[in-house]
Structure 1
Amino acid sequence: MRLTRKQTQEQTRSRLLDAAAEAIFAGGLSALSIRSVCEAAGYSQGAFYSNFASRDDLLLALMEQHIGEQAANLSALITGMGRGNLNQDMRDIARWLADHGETEGWSRINADFKLHAQRDPAFAEGYRATAEPFHRAFAVLMGDLVHRHGLQPILPAQDLSVGLYALWTGLALQQAVDPALPRQEIYLAFLRAAMIAPHAPLSSFPKGHHS
């Protein structure tokens, strides 16, 4: 079946993103160039600029694709969580984080992106905006715990979600050099420390999917 123009453009964009991811997996962010991505994907630079405004635009699209997948997975966890006691709910979240930790390759990409953001304020702004859906999903997950169990957390939802995301990605990267690291127990310790101390009003957290 002949592809429509929109389908052809989506296919081109997807192949360019795949080629970029493979290049970063293999050699890091410094190894990525528009020319190398186009050659690997089999397209001209004209095709690249029909889909992306710049190299940084490509990087943010790559990040958005990955974070979107993870945010969807996290939202599914929120929807499907049982209605157990507080300890069980926290263990379920900690287990999910450990089981769905970012792959080593994506952890390296994320570390490269953060370093790039430190050097480039414009990219940093795009990075923060792209990561927002995932932080929001984490905030809803924590808010669900807060309202279901009547907790008073130590920080607002957004701050805790950013902290948990940093812990998640950092431990995923650390696993490459320390495979025996007890990540699930570390996540559980974070959740217990963050969600029980009575220092913040419940109104600082969004309501989740509790009944």
Structure 2
Amino acid sequence: MSRVRTRPTRDDTCEKLFEAAARVFEEQGIGGASIEAIAAAAGFSRGAFYSNFKSKDELIIAMLEDHVAQSIRRSLDLLARHKSLADFIDALKTMDRSQQDPLGRSPLLHMEMILFVARAEKRRPDLAKRLRARRKLVADIVETTLKSNGKNGFINPAWTGAILLALEDGFRLHRLIDPETTPADSFLRAIGDLQRGMGISSS
């Protein structure tokens, strides 16, 4: 007879800590949030936290890494089902954020966490790895949509990916500063405008 697992796996524990940390960060601020508060919000002891992460910074890096990994999986899945740029953008607009990781549901918290980690110079290489992964994803999407529209070679996918990612991060920062004049869909609207400006077909 197989044993019934009564203890949560490490993945289960990490997921609960990620969710709890996001709530505590939004309520108390990233700098002011304590490990004790995060552990308590997840229903764990301080010891349970330290059995998974050495510090709050390590937890944040893990959350950012998990977000990038999940974003890549979701985007590639959408791209496989929606080859045209317009269809892909529409799919992104209608994506159910409630099913995403905490940073997927809260782009502003994602940006705040990046800025928090970037203040520590020794942590910047960790951020750089995630940035490169995000750039590659966007470049792959650009290349796929260009090929499907017969415009391969018309644009440099890598450079265009870097521009689009900077544009996305810029809109996130602007929304953090002035949400009244920066709608949540600003980036996707900008992509649609660029698509039309480059003469890329929506079909």
Q: TM-score, normalised by structure 2?
A: 0.73
Question: Alpha-carbon deviations, 1:152-191, whole Å to 9, x = none?
Answer: 355451x432332333344356284234865543112334
Matched residue type, 1:95: D
Secondary structure of the 2:31 match is: helix
Report how far residue 49 of structure 1 moved.
Answer: 1.6
State whether residues 23 and 32 of structure 1, in contact with CA within 8 Å, keep that contact through their aligned partners in structure 2: yes
- The answer for the alignment partner of 1:31 in structure 2 is 32
User: RMSD of aligned C-alpha atoms?
Assistant: 3.2
Question: Alpha-carbon deviations, 1:97-126, whole Å to 9, x = none?
Answer: 444497896222122123224311222221
- The answer for the alignment partner of 2:86 in structure 1 is 91
State whether residues 143 and 152 of structure 2, in contact with CA within 8 Å, keep that contact through their aligned partners in structure 1: no
How far apart, CA to CA, are the structure 1 residues paired with 2:169 and 2:56? Answer: 23
Of all paired residues, the percent bearing the same amino acid is 24
- Decide whether aligned partners of structure 1 residues 153 and 117 sit closer, same or farther in structure 2, where only a CA change above 3 A counts: farther
- The answer for the alignment partner of 1:85 in structure 2 is none
- The answer for the alignment partner of 2:107 in structure 1 is 107
Report how far residue 57 of structure 1 moved.
Answer: 1.1
Question: Which one scores higher on RCO, CA 8 angstroms, separation ≥ 6?
Answer: 1
Deviates more, 1:29-38 or 1:165-174: 165-174
Report how far residue 34 of structure 1 moved.
Answer: 1.2
How far apart, CA to CA, are the structure 2 residues paired with 1:170 and 1:128? Answer: 17
- The answer for the alignment partner of 2:134 in structure 1 is 134
Question: Alpha-carbon deviations, 1:41-83, whole Å to 9, x = none?
Answer: 232222212111221110011122222222111101221124x
How far apart, CA to CA, are the structure 1 residues paired with 2:55 and 2:21? Answer: 13
State whether residues 143 and 157 of structure 2, in contact with CA within 8 Å, keep that contact through their aligned partners in structure 1: no
How far apart, CA to CA, are the structure 2 residues paired with 1:137 and 1:182? Answer: 20
Gaps of 5+ in 1: 83-88, 197-211
- Decide whether aligned partners of structure 1 residues 164 and 28 sit closer, same or farther in structure 2, where only a CA change above 3 A counts: farther
Q: TM-score, normalised by structure 1?
A: 0.71
Gaps of 5+ in 2: 98-102
How far apart, CA to CA, are the structure 1 residues paired with 2:96 and 2:110? Answer: 13
Secondary structure of the 2:106 match is: helix
How far apart, CA to CA, are the structure 2 residues paired with 1:104 and 1:134? Answer: 14
State whether residues 117 and 123 of structure 2, in contact with CA within 8 Å, keep that contact through their aligned partners in structure 1: yes
